[in-house]
Amino acid sequence: MLERALVGTQRYYRFLMVLLVLMGMGFAAYLFQYNKGLTITGMGRDVSWGFYIAQFTFLVGVAASAVMVVLPYYLHDVKVFGKITILGEFLAVASVTMCLLFIIVDLGKPMRLLNVLLYPTPNSVLFWDMVVLNGYLFLNILIGWNVLEAERKGVHYAHWIKILIYVSIPWAVSIHTVTAFLYAGLPGRHYWLTAIMAARFLASAFASGPALLILLSLILRRYTKFDAGKEAIDKLSQIVTYAMIISVFFVGLEFFTAFYSQIPSHMESLIYLFVGLEGHSRLVPFMWMFLILAVVALVLLINPNTRKNEKTLKIACGAVFLSMWLEKGLGLVIAGFIPNAFNQVREYSPTVPELMIALGVWATGFFVLTILYKIATSVKEETA
Amino acid sequence: MESNRRSFLKIGGICALGLGALPVVEALAATDLPKVMSEPRALVGKKWGMVVDMKKCWEKGKPGCKDCMLACHRTHNVPDIGTVKEEIKWIWTEPFECTFPTLDNEFSVENAKERPYIVLCNHCTNPPCVRVCPTQATWKRPEDGIVMMDFHRCIGCRYCMAACPYGARSFNFREPRPFIQTELNMTFPTRDRGVVEKCNFCYERLAAGLIPACVEACKCQALCFGDLEDPNSDVRKLLASRFTMRRKPELGTQPNVYYIV
Amino acid sequence: MRIYNANRIIPGLIIFLGLITIPLWYNTGKAVPPPDPKIDTPAIQQMAQKQCIMPKSEMRTGHMQLLNDWRTWVVRDGKRLYVAADSKEYVMSLQNECIKCHSNKSQFCDQCHAYAGLDVGTEPYCWTCHIAPKENK
């Protein structure tokens, strides 16, 4: 089926070319980093995880969101999702690919990557993260490919695929939970030391992932003959709505615990993010943008008229994705380190090479996504 | 030739068995393994710990004294990167509210807050950094409790740096050798970029029968090093006779560096 | 049988063959002298019995594995003394023990390493961290 990615419209080729250029630039920047070390990034002794890990954290959520179409369809026979499970699964493949790439570019010694396999360490959450992420990647590639192939041949997929599909549902929850555990088990980082970390991850995943899926479906409908169907988009938008409400509610919960208890270690990171701490306020504009976008998204989503109207739905989904990206992709990881273990405020900003590498990884993910979606839509157009 | 799946599997199984037998035979026929042992002059302790007598440091030491830090960094070829962002430090000083952030007294002894406090890796009994390392590049030595670093295995993921509640760990963001300002100690390696490092309780000196470099260098004997499990050691005697504090005890890490303030 | 797209395949095949045989033709005409590791350091000359930890042939093929094993024993197991087959004891340290006798890295270690195509400044990358001896040239 791979050959279907090789033929397409001029616009398709041009888009792939643009992505390849971005990937090339990112790769060149990465060679610079490989040569000089992570000093070329904005990370330091105090904020030792930065943009790369923040992107990885956000994208794990997007990857897990495939379960939001797979679960209703396979477990509860919500037939309307039948056409788009493949889109969810392929989005998961592209997202997990980006996650793994972000981890690799963040490593100080990437050539020693296999040490995690050679010296398995079950007490380390990072070990389990490696296991579940790669497992999920493998699962979605197998499931997506086989289901699509069976559809192309006009037969039912093999029985063992069903088992993998059932496994992928709790597995999707696990990739999130394990990634949240990376943060939620560290005794020195009070911003992360919250029991609802995994729950927050899941809620924001189930908001941002399906929001992206809606946008992607609308893009596919515009440029290919693939139409997800109004009912599927409707149902997805309902899921996004509830997940967004819960996400924002969870952020509110954090605020309550911090500010009603008045414990400094709980409050300080939030103060840094939303008001600024000791004169340092680099992230404040981004966090207020997150709040504003979240409110806009909620207003547009909760009102059924604007949710059902495609134009406002597009704005709402973009707002959801962007606001969740700001909160998880920027706020969460960086603020965990501020203030640092000595209660000092040392800020972080990504550098240009760092952003270029990140852009290269995002471009790689979209490249994979475009290829896979091209194959999926071509097969669906043929068998329609 | 008639070949079916069954006979293929039979032949495949026999081949696999044959190939698998070779390493077994080799292992059984192996000659004796070489003997390795600890050096006889090594200092032995079941749980190394330190008591930092800040009172002695302030009362007897010169203001601005950096003897312990210089000795450590010189012994271990620690580079001086020169920026707050990327500095590498194994032992250094911090003010009171940074050393003991949860003990913020509004009113306290005069000058207590301005004075410097010596901080280093606490070699915790329950270290979160060891718990999170995905490759066991950092581990707690069972024989003496030192939280070790294996620079050969470290992949530079910096999870341990996120986990350490004391900010004891530094990462080599760049090649460190050009930044080593002191004369190289030829008996100890430097590190490479991309690995995390921290105080190692001078395990290589302990193996040679020497006390840690910082302890030896302190002219006021403010640093007391010894075996916390030996009731007759100097550290235990000090702990029994003076009131001490540890950093962030509420986190359950059980640090083994005690402070007399 | 017709060959399709010959105008793309044939040049592609030629380029591929050229690339894959690079090791065979890249160094034609360049003769590198065989390695000549010298063991005439002052320390070795003073030894009554000139022997290393293992016999020369074993050291030549096995010093890599030996150093790896030493690394594991010293760093991870905390054992520093190695008892060789002839019962002599050595401290397991490249920087401090091996270099005691073989203090001429550029005329000993680097000889074979350079011949094998390793960049002696950085490879084997032991020397990135383990400090090479200061040699008086």
For residues A365 and A137, give the distance between their C-alpha atoms in angstroms, rounded to a whole number. 13
The amino acid present at B137, given as its one-letter code, is: A
For residues B261 and B244, give the distance between their C-alpha atoms in angstroms, rounded to a whole number. 7
Contacts of B189 in chain C (CB under 8 A): 95, 129-131
Give the closest residue to A176 by CA, choosing from A198, A209, A191, A203: A198
Q: With a cut of 50, say whether residue A38 has pLDDT above it.
A: yes
Choose, out of C72, C75, C77, C103, the residue to mutate when testing the contact with B (most B CBs < 10 Å).
C75
Q: What are phi and psi of C102, to 5 degrees?
A: -95, 65
Q: Which tens digits make up the pLDDT trace of B23-49?
A: 888 777 766 667 888 888 889 999 999
Q: Which tens digits make up the pLDDT trace of A91-126?
A: 999 999 999 999 999 999 999 999 999 999 999 999
Quick check: B192 and C128 CB within 8 A?
yes
Quick check: A186 and B94 CB within 8 A?
no
Neighbors of chain B by Cβ distance (3+ pairs < 8 Å): A, C
| Residue C64 domain-assigned (yes or no) | yes
Percent with pLDDT over 70 in chain A: 100
Cβ contacts of B75 within 8 Å, gap of 6 or more: B185, B188, B202, B205, B213
| Residue C95 domain-assigned (yes or no) | yes
Going by DSSP bridges, is the β-strand pair B257-260/B48-53 parallel, antiparallel, or unpaired? parallel
**Tally of domains in chain C:** 1
Instruction: Give me the CATH number covering residue A88.
Output: 1.20.1630.10
Mean pLDDT of A215-242: 94
CB-based contact B198:B171 (threshold 8 Å): no
Q: Average pLDDT for consecutive 10-residue bins of chain B (261 residues)?
A: 82 90 77 78 93 94 92 96 95 93 80 87 97 96 95 96 96 95 92 96 94 95 95 95 95 96 86
Chain B nearest-CA residue for C122: B192
Q: In terms of residue numbers, what domain contains A144?
A: 2-383
Burial category of C21 from C-beta neighbours within 10 Å (exposed 0-12, middle 13-18, buried 19 and up) = exposed
Distance from CA of C107 to the nearest CA of B (A): 20
Choose, out of B105, B158, B175, the residue to mutate when testing the contact with A (most A CBs < 10 Å).
B158
Contacts of A109 in chain B (CB under 8 A): 154-156, 192, 194-195
CB-based contact A284:A275 (threshold 8 Å): yes
Going by DSSP bridges, is the β-strand pair B147-149/B223-227 parallel, antiparallel, or unpaired? unpaired
Q: Spell B139-159 as b/e; 16+ CB within 10 A means b.
A: bbbeebbbbbbbbbbbbbbbb
Q: Which of A22-31, A350-359, B140-149, C44-53 has the lowest mean pLDDT?
A: C44-53
For residues C35 and C114, give the distance between their C-alpha atoms in angstroms, rounded to a whole number. 8
Q: How much is the pLDDT for C46?
A: 86
What is the H or E stretch that residue A166 is in? helix A159-184
Distance from CA of A147 to the nearest CA of B (A): 28
Domains in chain B with CATH codes? 48-260 (3.30.70.20)
Chain B nearest-CA residue for A106: B157
Mean pLDDT of A146-163: 93
Mean pLDDT of C66-90: 90
Q: How much is the pLDDT for B202?
A: 96
DSSP A354-373: HHHHHHHHHHHHHHHHHHHH
What is the H or E stretch that residue C67 is in? helix C56-71
| Residue C76 domain-assigned (yes or no) | yes
Task: Please tell me which of the candidates B98, B99, B155 has its beta carbon nearest to residue A108.
Answer: B155
**Tally of domains in chain A:** 1
Assign residue B84 a region: left if phi > 0, alpha if psi is -120 to 50, beta otherwise? alpha
Q: How much is the pLDDT for B30?
A: 62
Distance from CA of A167 to the nearest CA of B (A): 25
Which residue is associated with the tokens 């414990």? A263
| Residue C77 domain-assigned (yes or no) | yes
Percent with pLDDT over 90 in chain C: 29
Q: How much is the pLDDT for C137?
A: 47
Burial category of B30 from C-beta neighbours within 10 Å (exposed 0-12, middle 13-18, buried 19 and up) = exposed
Task: Please tell me which of the candidates C80, C129, C133 has its beta carbon nearest to residue B151.
Answer: C129
Cβ contacts of B141 within 8 Å, gap of 6 or more: B147, B148, B203, C78
CA end-to-end distance (rounded Å), chain B: 89
For residues B113 and B111, give the distance between their C-alpha atoms in angstroms, rounded to a whole number. 5
Quick check: A187 and B99 CB within 8 A?
no
CB-based contact B141:A94 (threshold 8 Å): no
Q: Which of A186-190, A272-276, C127-131 has the lowest mean pLDDT?
A: C127-131
Quick check: C95 and B187 CB within 8 A?
yes
Contacts of B206 in chain C (CB under 8 A): none
Distance from CA of B146 to the nearest CA of C (A): 11
Q: Which of A9-18, A124-133, B22-31 has the lowest mean pLDDT?
A: B22-31
Choose, out of B81, B83, B85, B196, the residue to mutate when testing the contact with A (most A CBs < 10 Å).
B85
For residues A300 and A291, give the distance between their C-alpha atoms in angstroms, rounded to a whole number. 14
Q: In terms of residue numbers, what domain contains C114?
A: 34-129
Give the closest residue to A159 by CA, choosing from A146, A174, A169: A146
Distance from CA of B204 to the nearest CA of C (A): 9
Distance from CA of B48 to the nearest CA of C (A): 15
